Structure 1
């Protein structure tokens, strides 16, 4: 046995063989035995707070199509990361999270920086959580973590590794293996679904984020066109799976039980593919489906199928299911053509100061490059974004899969790093609310250090507009802490190394956005805007 061969060296060899050579993290003392003499063929992406680290790794994994490795600091770092771990879990992102446990000799005495009940802390937001019983088991634990993270439904996993394990001698680990990442739907049940779809008089399609993640964008368009079916945007979507400027697209479905039920009135059949039935918030009572409407549900996630309040479900890879449906459903040319979504795109007769969100989006629509990616965390203006900046390409829209904020700013970093990793250069536009920006403002440091082509457009309305909209709907007046006066966002962004400007007019926004596209660094454009009542 070589004197140099240790658990650490064997694990790094395994990670190389799996293609996991990018590590996202914020180094802590219990992680230094793993990170020491960091290999030159690996890349370490430093985030200044663990929640930001998770969001960066989340979109990096989504863009590259392979798991991302995240190294966190004991229980404190894992605790910081939990908010965005929820988003990664709901978004089915394959992440391998690791953190350092204290020295095995000390653990029984509850030492300082010990990770008490380490495997319990990240639950229920991981698929698997494990601390190896022996140092020799660390490499195999990584291999199982890799397989578990990738197998459908994909998602985060967690490993706690005692800090003294890394230096233990180990001769090697050669048992590599591969796993399936797609599960075919039951053909008999799928045929039954196809018959019901073909017999429908006025079907509606709802394509959820699983479709785009599975590479099913083109197949979804083909299915909608063959059926001549109305397509709605999934509620609270985190990936767009259908072109929002397509004639069959009828706009967002809504968020509440009542709104969704009202929108689906007149359809005899609703087919939800690759999403939940449905993501609801807030609670506004109403029928889950209109009278006389049936629902079919196809998803690769058994928990999502089980939690649906209505409908008949089918488990299977969404892309595979759509492609099989294309072969079996009857062409729908005899159906009446769906009414296209009205796109009023109304602007005020004279420019406002501060600008309204539609004015901001109208300006961006004239200068957005065709290949730009949008990362949205301006929660009160998402309806206006769809209206003015529709997603029309696969893999070009990202939002949080959970209800927390503080995901979008670092997520834009992960998208840009993922593009760079796969040799693609395209502008990344982060549409961020001023409240959301404060949750993870330190993420722009990573963007600036890597000189990423990100343009953040921060809408500065000096309040949590989405919460004020909820307060009206939920009849909860007098909620404190919803105003945000006194924020100098541009100065903070400059302090982290970004190019940053304040703008007040459409002309200024257009000029600065164009300049940002050619800048060799990350730009933060802060736009003074009027509060926008969210469309709930």
Structure 2
């Protein structure tokens, strides 16, 4: 006798076809009908808190280049996840997020564990939010969710699915579709941009995260070299798109209106590709653009283009746009080559105790393998990372796109799982502040359960250094809650199944880092460091 086909079996067949066979989740009672009889050819990645689940799926999708499937608990679980959902939205990460909804029979009575106003809860941080009208619509809703998540600008989508839908009889679903995930720019407008670039006396290029996401790293280098133009990193970037040790790299633009405007002084044209114009924080007044400077922007996002405070925009895939620009722009050999970014790299003659962040990064620079990927959530030390651990390869730097913390620890797990999925072996290092770690420390459990060789370097300065820096800038003395005494990070890490050590010297750090690269479990290296005033 043939087993009756259901929404559950039909949907899982569709998920196989779409190669969505890894499910990131934290199960709740309203999700168990979806997870029942979980197939052996699927992988379930358990996160102990929903925000961590989202961040793991975020970088897994970024690394594999495919949408990732997330299953959250209804209502409260979705609420827990929203903090890192903001990062996935700003980072254009294709996530298909589902949550359970109460039984259809109960929904009208606003039941316990129901998704109240289900489609409104995750907004505005999803591209599409839907609850199927009929159980029969569930597979087609997944097909649409897949298309919405992947089509540019990519991003997360959400579905609330009543728990009784999964056992509803359904004959099948045969409307599987393929779709494009790249949009070419208007060539006539791009050619006009190219003419302005070619005529520029002193152009500056700003490459943002969209370039690396589009696979445009090598083309970005070729364009900069052909134009003989200085390249700046976009403010508050979550993916690096240009080698930070290149002679044309001029460093990051800065974060405030004033610092960006000051940095662009002397350029008659700024070409921003794959980035917002600009991510600003904090507010320090100044010129948005220096007098006599014009700006061009190329982005795949209509929202990013519309939000720009200045300049002329062009919509299109940044990777394709750069490829086309390479043939359109004139050689810049007549331009004076930009001066390389100064790298002071000053270290004390005698080591400090506790160490400074610069000493920590300098030690890591001596022992890191060339193919190391860094996930950074030490927000007060980003300038030191660029100085000592410059990003030199595509897909080798990740940071949150939202500005919230609690993303980095689980994001390192997602990178390692994504590498495993695609058969790539490279060291994954999480550079985490002691304050940041506490937001999502439970992600260490997932790293241990999956035997991931992630190395976490936790800089313990016993405070929220970034917030103290903002307090100085914003002239707000006496802010409470900025000190973090009494946290035994190593013991907590061991409790989650990780190997954990505490170090005080660069020699110990280098030794423990090398040991961690070949350990059979994730390692948490706790380094006592001095508080660091952030470069704002």
Offset from partner CA, 1:311-358 (integer Å, 9 cap, x none): 000000000000000001000000001010000100112100000000
CA distance in 1, matches of 2:20, 2:115: 25
C-alpha separation between the residues in 2 aligned to 1:114 and 1:239?
37
| 2:306 aligned with 1:310 | no
SS of match in other structure, 1:431: strand
Q: How many correspondences in the alignment?
A: 536
Residue in structure 1 matched with residue 82 of structure 2 by the alignment = 82
- Distance (Å, rounded) in 1 between the aligned partners of 2:256 and 2:2: 62
Q: Which residue of the partner structure matches residue 57 of structure 2?
A: 57
Q: Summarize the alignment of residues 430-445 of structure 1 with structure 2, pairs less than 5 Å apart.
A: 430-445=430-445
- Rounded to whole Å, the distance in 2 between the matches of 1:193 and 1:476 is 44
Residue 189 of structure 1, CA deviation: 0.4
Cα distance in 1 for residues equivalent to 2:377 and 2:403: 11
SS of 2:530 mapped into structure 1: coil
**Partner Cα separation in structure 2 for residue 348 and residue 235 of structure 1:** 29
Task: Return the alpha-carbon distance in structure 2 between the equivalents of residues 15 and 252 of structure 1.
Answer: 41
State the alpha-carbon separation in 2 of the partners of residues 359 and 322 from structure 1: 38
CA distance in 2, matches of 1:454, 1:31: 30
Q: Cα deviation per residue 1:40-82 (whole Å; 9 max; x = unaligned)?
A: 0000000000000000000000000000000000001100000
C-alpha separation between the residues in 2 aligned to 1:37 and 1:184?
43
Q: Give the Cα–Cα distance (whole angstroms) in 2 for the partners of residues 491 and 511 of structure 1.
A: 20
Tell me the secondary structure at the aligned position of residue 458 of structure 1. strand
Aligned 8 A contact 1:74 1:101 in 2: yes
Q: How does 1:394-413 map to 2 (within 5 A)?
A: 394-413=394-413
In the other structure, the counterpart of 1:172 is 172
Q: Partners in 1 of 2:54 and 2:206 — Cα distance? A: 29
Asked if structure 2 preserves the Cα contact closer than 8 Å seen for 1:430 and 1:455, the reply is: yes
Q: Identify the residue that residue 128 of structure 1 maps to in structure 2.
A: 128
Counterpart for residue 525 of structure 1: 525
Distance 2:68 2:518 in 1: 29
Q: Return the alpha-carbon distance in structure 1 between the equivalents of residues 355 and 4 of structure 2.
A: 63
Q: SS of 1:196's equivalent?
A: helix
Secondary structure of residue in 2 paired with 1:52: helix
Contact 1:24-1:57 within 8 A present in 2 as well: yes
| Residue 338 in structure 1 maps to residue 338 in structure 2 | yes
Counterpart of 2:5?
Answer: 5
Contact 1:430 / 1:457 at 8 angstroms: preserved in 2? Answer: yes
Decide whether the 8 Å contact of 1:426 with 1:453 is kept in 2. Answer: no
- TM-score normalised by L of structure 1: 1.00
Match of 1:108 in 2: 108
* Distance in 1 separating the partners of 2:169 and 2:518: 51
Distance 1:336 1:415 in 2: 40
Matched ranges for 1:66-215 at <5 A: 66-215=66-215
Where in structure 2 are there 5+ consecutive unaligned residues? none
Structure 1 residues 308-387: aligned runs within 5 Å: 308-387=308-387
Q: Distance in 2 between matches of 1:2 and 1:133?
A: 28
Q: Deviations over 1:402-429 (max 9, x none)?
A: 0100000000000000000000111000
Deviations 1:119-147 (A, max 9, x none): 10000000000000000000000000000
What is aligned with 2:27? Answer: 27
Q: CA deviation at 1:2?
A: 5.0
The reply to whether residue 449 of structure 1 matches residue 449 of structure 2 is: yes
Extract structure 1 runs of 4+ deviating beyond 4 A.
none
Find the counterpart in structure 1 of residue 505 from structure 2: 505
* Alpha-carbon distance in 2 for matches of 1:498, 1:514: 16
Counterparts of 1:313 and 1:453 in 2: how far apart (Å)? 43
Structure 2 CA distance, aligned partners of 1:257 and 1:201?
24
Shift of 1:3: 3.9
Match of 1:255 in 2: 255
The Cα RMSD (Å) is 0.7
* Equivalent-residue separation in structure 2 for 1:425 and 1:50 (angstroms): 27
- Correspondence 1:388-427 to 2 at 5 A: 388-427=388-427
